[in-house]
Amino acid sequence: MPLFGGPSRSDLLALSRRLANVEAKIDAIMQSLGIELSASTSDGNDDIRQLVLANEKINAIKLYRQRTGLGLKEAKDAIDAFERGEGPLAI
């Protein structure tokens, strides 16, 4: 019996097989539609990063605020942190 009433080993194996089946179906659908998913899938913030790199920080903050709904200070702090290399932009 599993500890604390969690899923049994056979349950986990069944779920693993079902997940693999779903992933195979998704891969087949993507292939038939001509969609390629690269390992470095963009998070949709490439344009904001480009604005920061082009020294257009105000426009980057404006766009980030539009996407996130954050206030001016929070958006500026996020862009500043990204600019300092302290992490990715999160949406």
Q: List pLDDT tens digits, range 61-90.
A: 999 999 999 999 999 999 998 888 887 776
What's the Cα-to-Cα distance from 32 to each of 22, 28, 43, 71, rounded to whole Å? Answer: 15, 6, 23, 42
Q: Confirm whether 71 is domain-assigned.
A: yes
pTM for the model: 0.53
Q: Confirm whether 79 is domain-assigned.
A: yes
What's the Cα-to-Cα distance from 22 to each of 11, 13, 27, 42, 85, rounded to whole Å? Answer: 16, 14, 9, 23, 37
Q: Which amino acid is at 87?
A: G
What tens digit of pLDDT does each residue of 30-43 get? Answer: 888 888 766 555 56
| Structural domain boundaries, residue 67 | 46-83
Is 78 in the same domain as 51? yes
